[in-house]
Chain A
Amino acid sequence: MPFAINTAGWLLTENGRQPWIVQGLQLTKDGVSSSVSTTEVAISIVAFLLLYAALTVVAAVLMTRHARKGTDPTEQDDQPAPEMTY
């Protein structure tokens, strides 16, 4: 939930500000970089989408594994906190 709300808030501010990129000072269409092509933008969006999708899967798997293990009281309490060894 916090992730969803955080992202939603961001989407709201970014969309709500349009067509301005800086409210009252510069329009988004005037701020577009002329030397970055649409293809390049598409490549970057797809690349980050794939990267984050892969990381989401890995994170989900790890969290599920961690949750499945549960909290085994004997394992948790008997072991002293690992000490730093130098």
Chain B
Amino acid sequence: MFAAFPGWYATLFSGFYLALVLLLAGLIVRGIAIEYRDRVDGAGWRRTWTMLLTAGSLTVPLVLGIALGDLLHGVPIGGDQEYAGTFADLFTGYGVFTGITLTVLCLLHGATFLALKTSGEIRDRAHRLARRTVLPAGLVVLAFVFWTRSVAAGGILVNLVELAAVLAVAAAAWAVSSGRDGWAFSGTTLAMAATVASLFTELYPRVMVSSTNSAFDLTVHNTASGPYALKVMTVVALVLLPVVLVYQGWTYHVFRKRISADR
């Protein structure tokens, strides 16, 4: 984004400045909490870090979701491609709902992941959480898809990606209720990917909508780098992306077994 669409990057990161500071703080607190939670024996210490871990982990999908929703909903952007709104302008109804959608999906996804990866009491609790969240998640995704259609003024007929999001969360609901951990996790993975992807399919070829004037919309054309930079980027991505995917896949393969609570 930084190298391929500098115009988009500049407007987004300047306009969403405070929101992204919050996102970064959430990511820092979350990462640190996982590391420190176990360092001192004591209920108070543990409770504090559990609280911070939860707060940080909730902040991340919520802020990301609001930011993603705002891309499609539109924020004040002038003819000079500069963000012209305030921090409060970022809290659009659709943006906030996108944030809620992503947060609920993350909760469900975390529950299905834990159910797949753990055993004993933690696994039972993850199962219970998944069963409780899967219906709300399904309803939220369904509402999100139709709201997305209406924001994009695309009519009632959903596109394939949006259909995939709805079907995936329905499949996850079936798998959760029948206790199939692997299928449940696959379902929530696909639901998450398709939900985010559906936003971008509605956006294309725009990348950031201007609520001031549709003539000021940022698109893949008016924010892209020069052809040479794009060519270099494509080659780099084609070479490096498979490497990243392979080592990510490898780490999951190494830690593929279930873990148990007793050490």
Contacts and interface: CB of A to CB of B under 8 A. Distances in A.
> Residue among B21, B28, B36 with the most chain A CB within 10 A?
B21
Interface in A39-63: 40, 43-44, 47-48, 51, 55, 58, 62
A44 B25 CA distance: 10
B196 interface: no
A62 B36 CA distance: 9
B37 to A, nearest CB: 12
Contacts of A65: 40
Contacts, number: 46
A44 B82 contact: no
Tell me what chain A mostly uses at the interface: helix, strand, loop, or mixed. Answer: helix
Contacts of B10: 33
A6 interface: no
Nearest to A43: B18
B253 interface: no
Interface residues of B, number: 24
Contact of B21 (A34, A43, A62): A43
B21 A35 contact: no
B40 A35 contact: no
A41 to B, nearest CB: 8
Contacts of B28: 51, 55
B82 A35 contact: yes
Contact of A34 (B40, B82, B259): B82
B260 A55 contact: no
Interface of B: 10-11, 14-15, 17-18, 21, 25, 28-29, 32, 36, 39-40, 82-84, 87, 257-260, 262-263
Given A33-B14, A36-B14, A86-B260, 6 more contacts: A40-B87, A44-B21, A51-B28, A58-B36, A84-B259, A86-B258
